[in-house]
A and B are shown apart, each in its own frame.
Chain A
Amino acid sequence: MIVAASATVSAEYSPPGPQSFELPPVFSLGGLEVTKPMLQLVLAALLVFGFLWLAARRESLVPGRLQFAGESAYGFVRNGLGRDIIGSHDFQKFVPYLVALFFFILLNNLFASIPFIQFPTFSRASMAYALAGLSWVIYNAVGMWRHGPIGYLKLQCVPSGVSPFMYPLLVPLEFFSNIIVRPVTLALRLFANMFAGHLLLMLFATGGLYLITEYGGAIGVVSGVAAWILAILISFLELLVQFLQAYVFTLLNAMYIQGALAEEH
């Protein structure tokens, strides 16, 4: 229920909402309407691949600047997320997936702060859910490959050290929490962070403009300028949130893979 406030100024301020995220298609490709977030996904994939491939092209023992940057970036995910979370025994199979995932999500998030693009790709929920679906397939497939389907479900749904009387209560709950809810929260966390951050930025930017131009007067100009200063400060906060969400998505992926590979107690 929304109660509209009546205004005594010339034009109403319409605050940004979910409708502001529905961008018109850029062009049509054989019946498929290509929108800006779709182009951003492809651009991010090309850029991540290009950067890492260029960094690895001339592998010299004493690295140049680009190779050093690529190796630092790769090493950050490989060591901090792969080796430390999955364990030194089987982490190497998953490093390509984790590295690609981290930099893909990071670049797509950073698109919200890059001028002329300024739209976080994962504020479109479907894209976050697609990534979470891929993650779900991977950690379940890894678990079933290691333990067999029944053994894997037993590992995920039957907690150890619990008397069998609690099983009718705990097993459906664990199944729901580990198999059904995990991809939803994974996607929702990324989507909602990007959505809320971009919405906040749009609110301060358009609100400041409205206050300065339409509302007018001393109050309007002062509060409008304050809104714009807040918009700048929130942009910096959004940079932090973008890094954090990419890191947490990849970290949780690594933890789910590690949980699927874990040995029986």
Chain B
Amino acid sequence: MGGSLNMIGYGLAAIGPGIGIGLIFAAYINGVARQPEAQSRLQSIAILGFALAEALAIIGIALAFVLTGESTQ
């Protein structure tokens, strides 16, 4: 079985953002369910929270590829 330790690290690093994004959108859905008129105001907050939480997972996958310790030249 082949692979890279970086990818195991990325898999572990994606747990946190996955849970975080689930919580953010759970709160958004709850908020809209209680008060549908607030949908557009809550949407920008939900998108902001999603992008901030997703950033950590994306940093994980990008650095998993970039930081292999091998030189490309």
Contact = CB atoms under 8 A, between A and B. Distances in A.
B55 A192 contact: yes
Contacts of B51: 189, 244-245, 248
B44 to A, nearest CB: 7
Chain B interface size range:
20 to 34
Interface in B26-73: 44, 47-48, 51-52, 54-55, 58-59, 61-63, 65-66, 68, 70, 72
A80 B2 contact: no
Contact of A18 (B5, B48, B61, B65): B65
Contacts of B1: 3, 5
A126 to B, nearest CB: 13
Chain A interface size range:
20 to 34
Interface string A1-34: 1111100000000000111001000000000000
Contacts of B3: 2-3
Interface of A: 1-5, 17-19, 22, 80, 84, 185, 188-189, 191-193, 195-196, 199, 244-245, 247-248, 251-252
The dominant DSSP class at the A interface is helix
B5 A1 contact: yes
B2 A189 contact: no
Contacts of B70: 2
A248 B47 contact: yes
A38 B10 CA distance: 31
B48 A189 contact: no
A251 B47 CA distance: 10
Contacts of A22: 72
Contacts of A188: 55, 59, 62
Given A4-B2, A18-B66, A22-B72, A244 B58 contact: no
| Minimum-distance CB pairs A-B, first 4 | A5-B2, A192-B62, A248-B51, A189-B55
